A and B are shown apart, each in its own frame.
Chain A
Amino acid sequence: MTDNDVIIAEGVVKTYDDAGVPVHAVRGIDYTLKKGEFTAIIGPSGSGKTTFLNVLAGLDTPTEGKVRLSGKLISDMSGRELSDFRRDHIGFIFQAYNLFPVLTVEENVEYVMLLQGIPAAERHDRVMSILEKVGIAEYAPRLPMQLSGGQQQRVAVARAMVSRPSLIMADEPTANLDSTTSGALLDMMRQLNEETGMTFLFSTHDEIVMSRARKIVILRDGRIDGKASSDEY
């Protein structure tokens, strides 16, 4: 483990039960994510991308193997430590946006900062700044249902980034977006990656994401089937 390693997975296996049938989603993966990477985990549906991402983020516990987040073994962390770690170091972008429907755009984006105990004035400034950056500042008082899919995903991106995490994990972030919106969103994230050194890890099977990723990890049947740069792929 070096200072440059954000996540290290060693022999990770994840099997879960689906109505009595064991599902072997991840079958022994060794993987290291380094600082500043802009990496996409790709593979067909059912290849274990989302499960692997969840295990790497500490959202799910591996059946076997070890995961280290910034040098700490997830299995050694208490639930509270893990929550605080995710709150302070990881931003999540989900496939279905997953905004809180009863909160306004501004309230959705400030949610994590609220958990961090950041003062209201600072929260407001940072929310408006990030909303401007993602191009939806004028929608701050609106509810998510009053926005288009692309706009909602921008809110999700803003929410993930506003607390300035060192790592953004995005699970199929463009799954519900048209190609133009997807391209614009990816360009924006790539720009952030280049400007701030923020690490991005995607799970996707969208070619637009693959084309923007600097590294690609190919997953098939719960195993890494290959690694490549996007140019190579």
Chain B
Amino acid sequence: MFSRLLKFAWKVIWRNFRRTLITGIAVGLGLGAIMFTEALMQGMSTHMIQTTTESWMGDAQIHGNGFLDTRNINLVIKRPDSILSLLELDSSVSFYTPRILSPASATSATEMKPVTLIGVDMQTDPEVTMLKTAIDSGFYFSGDSTELIIGYKLAEDLDAGLGDVIVITAAQAGSGLSSSMFFVSGICRFGNDNLDRYSAFINISAAGAMLGIQGEIHEIAVRFPQVEMGADTSLGFWSRFSVFGNTALGWPELAPQIGSLLNMVNVSMAIMAAILFGLVVFGIVNSLFMSVFERMYEFGVMKAVGTRTGTITVMVILEAFWIAVISTVTGIAIGLLIIWITSKTGISFGDLEVSGVMIDRPIYPEMILSRIWIFPLFTLILTTAAGIYPGIHASRLNPAEAMRKSL
């Protein structure tokens, strides 16, 4: 009986070929659009996470307790040699690099600007950050203790160029100020305002000597084999390296603005999906009601010959189900096609900055099955469910009245 009703419903929906086609394409376009938007948002999220972690932050960082909150240069990593040895042996770690950090001022011949002085380990840094590849002009560190790399925006602000002298002044550990003279050896461009305008990079040994903390470090940036591991709270890494008075944190905690942005994306997607599915439901209800009103006589006859009300309701729901299947298949095809094309070509947004991250490269939509399957499923369920109301209406028709009205 059910299979015959299914077959009957399939034939009924094609009675009005144009309406079924238009409905299927309209719902399918909506589904395709939301699948594409989801993939685009995913691509943008991945881009932002990668830009943030690959450019400088790393997938995780280790600090001495309290350093991140106070930026107190005395709060160095405890037992750094032990930590570095453990990192060397840890199978979950791909690369790591130690750093020294301090608030400082950079003074050129004409200007003075506040910066974060960053001591970089030139041996390990290129495996963790993009500083070396971000050099726009000049050179990466060669080992000279007077080398200085600054961002292009800081160079503009200081009105300084390659070879120019910059004096860095910072507070020493304990007490006192220390000033040292550096030569601009490289100018970098990260696409991140914080790095391009407010950071000055020198050799880690020079930084240690200047601040009076030789052999000490403030930060270790770590890269995992996959960036997602930085957000995996079940990873043993966190407990293994939150020891000796140090704390290991992943990128979601180090860059909470990225997490907030991802939450915002999820909420936006949910709102868009709710609006879309609301429109879908109303559209399908409208379409099915038109179909029911056109076939009043038929429903009258069906009831007259003994069709139960439940059977009529099920039949209209099955019609909605077939429309749902057509719409979902159409939507998946449209969505996949657009995602496939744009994942090859990328979508350029110009030089857009979101949450301090520059989106200056094309975004490539990414389809993550574990996220995207929900949209076709919802389309299928909600479009089918949209048949309930018209189905109940059709089943409650008085057969004599239905036949009289449609004559």
Contacts and interface: CB of A to CB of B under 8 A. Distances in A.
Given A51-B400, A60-B398, A114-B4, A98 B308 contact: no
B399 A59 contact: yes
A112 B305 contact: yes
B391 to A, nearest CB: 15
Interface in A19-72: 50-51, 54-55, 57, 59-60
B171 interface: no
A57 B15 contact: no
Interface string A134-159: 00000000000000000000000001
B403 A117 contact: no
Contact of A59 (B8, B11, B15, B304): B304
A115 B399 CA distance: 17
Interface string B5-22: 000100110110000000
A87 interface: yes
B382 to A, nearest CB: 26
B306 A84 contact: yes
Interface in B275-330: 297-298, 301, 303-309, 311
B8 A103 contact: yes
A16 B398 CA distance: 13
Most buried by A among B298, B305, B308: B305
Nearest to A89: B306
A85 B304 CA distance: 10
* Range for the number of chain B residues in contact with chain A: 20 to 34
B1 interface: yes
B401 interface: yes
B304 A57 contact: yes
Contacts of A233: none
B243 to A, nearest CB: 73
A1 interface: no
Most buried by B among A50, A54, A79, A117: A54
Contacts of B307: 83, 87, 115
A86 interface: yes
Contacts of A55: 400
B308 A83 contact: yes
Given A102-B15, A103-B11, A60 B400 contact: yes
Contacts of A85: 306
Interface in B358-407: 398-401, 403-404, 407
A50 B297 CA distance: 15
* Majority SS at the chain B contact face: helix
Contact of B301 (A54, A98, A102, A115): A98
Most buried by A among B4, B306, B401: B306
B4 A102 contact: no
B306 A94 contact: no
Given A83-B308, A86-B304, A86-B306, A102 B8 contact: yes
Contacts, number: 73
Nearest to B398: A60
B309 A79 contact: yes
Contacts of A202: none
B298 A98 contact: yes
A63 B351 CA distance: 76
A83 B400 contact: no
Interface in A83-130: 83-88, 90-92, 94, 96, 98, 100-103, 111-112, 114-115, 117
Contact of B297 (A54, A59, A60, A98): A98
Contacts of A90: 306
A91 B404 CA distance: 19
B8 A87 contact: no
A102 B304 CA distance: 18
A86 B400 CA distance: 13
A103 B315 CA distance: 14
Contacts of A159: 305
A6 to B, nearest CB: 17
B13 to A, nearest CB: 9
B11 A112 contact: no
B306 A115 contact: yes
Nearest to B14: A102
A83 B309 contact: yes
A209 B303 CA distance: 26
Contacts of A103: 8, 11
A94 B403 contact: yes
A100 B297 CA distance: 10
Contact of A83 (B4, B14, B303, B398): B303
Contacts of A112: 305-306
Given A98-B298, A98-B301, A103-B11, A117 B1 contact: yes
Contacts of B4: 114
Contacts of B398: 59-60
Nearest to A84: B306
B12 A102 contact: yes
Given A84-B308, A101-B15, 14 more contacts: A50-B404, A55-B400, A59-B403, A80-B309, A83-B308, A83-B309, A85-B306, A86-B305, A91-B305, A112-B306, A114-B4, A115-B305, A115-B307, A159-B305
10 A-B pairs with least C-beta separation: A87-B306, A60-B400, A102-B11, A54-B400, A59-B400, A86-B306, A98-B301, A59-B399, A83-B308, A83-B306
Interface of A: 16, 50-51, 54-55, 57, 59-60, 79-80, 83-88, 90-92, 94, 96, 98, 100-103, 111-112, 114-115, 117, 159
27 contacts: A54-B399, A57-B304, A59-B303, A59-B398, A59-B400, A60-B398, A60-B400, A80-B308, A80-B309, A83-B306, A83-B308, A83-B309, A86-B306, A92-B301, A92-B305, A94-B301, A98-B297, A98-B301, A98-B403, A100-B8, A100-B298, A101-B15, A111-B305, A112-B306, A114-B1, A115-B1, A115-B306
